[in-house]
Amino acid sequence: MATEVTVPVLGESITEATLGEWLKQPGDPVAVDEPIASLETDKVSVEVPSPVAGVMGQHAVAVGDTVQVGAMLATIDSGDGAAASAPAPAATATPAAAPAKDESGAGYGDQPGAGTSDSPAALSPSVRRAVLEHGVDPGTVKGTGRDGRITKEDVTAAASSKPAPAPAAAPAPAAAPAAASGRGEERVRMTRLRQTIAKRLKEAQNTAAMLTTFNDVDMTAVIEARAKYKDLFEKKHGVRLGFMGFFVKAATMALRDIPSVNASIDGDDIVYHDYADISVAVSSPGGLVVPVIRDADQMSVATIEKTIGDFGKRAKEGALKMDEMKGGTFTISNGGVFGSLMSTPIINPPQSAVLGLHRIEERPVVVDGQIVIRPMMYLALSYDHRLIDGREAVTFLVALKNAIEDPTRILIDL
């Protein structure tokens, strides 16, 4: 007897998704509630659990297909699937049980000894591309993703630690034509998340009267405070003291003083928020995602750092929840972690402003009539000019700058 596995309810207003990868192949043993597939929605990836224990039956859809809520994905055949981590029976190693398409990808480490995790088909499309780009043997990479699956970051780390290859022997004459014509191309379908990001960013450009204003901030005081207290901070709170905690806290104070930056436009109305839900841009294997720190204005720096750290970890694992991506009254994006010196960030609708942070760079500045070297960072505030005037945007940045250059202001709420 076979049990159908259908697309679960994905959240408010979400009616369809794209099949990102198969985590179980036909013939694999499956336990109750064990993930068998990963679906990509407009916001996050969702794993589909098995409703029963048994053996994975046939896949009803292929990787990359769009599926509606309630549609059948696969079947689970009756059988002994209680020990999902046990090696698959020898019969499942026959060609009939092999993946039907290369796009199908069970996660690395899901089934030790099942005979599929050493195959490139067991990797997600983004990980396979990284393996090909860096020339890494996936069998030597330790996965840090959910259930031990290999992530793109794992492949990059393995490539950076790989010893330089020994000088190759002189190539055979027959290999010359192949080397001369090595101009390969690969066409990869955009993920649903990437499609949604592209659509929303373009809508923001088309709708908002977007403008960006800049300032710079001397990071000396924050760097000194962090160096002085980072060990005690980590010992007491169990999390590292970073710069984002200072910026989020300073931003909530500036938003309180300049409420229009924390507002949004709804038709012909302006909606002002007496709370600060800060969206923080973090990287995930599928692209940039923006989880929300609820009531950040009521949090301590330590709580903010813990929340951001948890978001970053779960974003890499693809474990963020849809509810954590909704809402937000203001966004902070830190391009400095990738080396960006300056940028003009795009608003995250329906919000009316976004703050861009950039890399810290030592530059000569004039202080008290003297030229000194200071660690400086450029700040960029992109805002909707329909709602926020230039004076308010500049005042917001100045308030933020003052709080960062004198962190005591954050402590005494000034």
Catalytic (active-site) positions: 385, 389
Candidates 284, 303, 51, 304; CA nearest to 146 is 284
Considering Cα of 352, then 357, then 358, then 362, what sign does the dihedral take?
positive
Tell me, rounded to whole angstroms, the distance of Cα 386 from its chain centroid.
Answer: 30
The CB density around residue 149, as the number of other CB atoms within 10 Å, is 25
CB 354 within 8 A of CB 333: yes
H or E element: which one contains 54? strand 54-59
CB 63 within 8 A of CB 83: no
Candidates 115, 145, 116, 146; CA nearest to 130 is 145
Distance from C-alpha of 23 to C-alpha of 47, rounded to nearest angstrom: 9
How long, in residues, is the chain? 414
In this structure, the strands spanning 29-30 and 54-59 are: antiparallel
CA distances from residue 198 to 279, 321, 384 in whole angstroms, order as listed: 18, 21, 19
CA distances from residue 34 to 24, 55, 57, 107, 196 in whole angstroms, order as listed: 9, 12, 14, 12, 28
Tell me, rounded to whole angstroms, the distance of Cα 170 from its chain centroid.
Answer: 44
Q: Which amino acid is at 377?
A: M
In this structure, the strands spanning 330-334 and 353-357 are: parallel
Candidates 214, 205, 236; CA nearest to 357 is 214
In this structure, the strands spanning 330-334 and 287-289 are: unpaired
Residues 6+ apart with CB under 8 A from 245: 301, 302, 304, 305, 308
H or E element: which one contains 394? helix 390-405
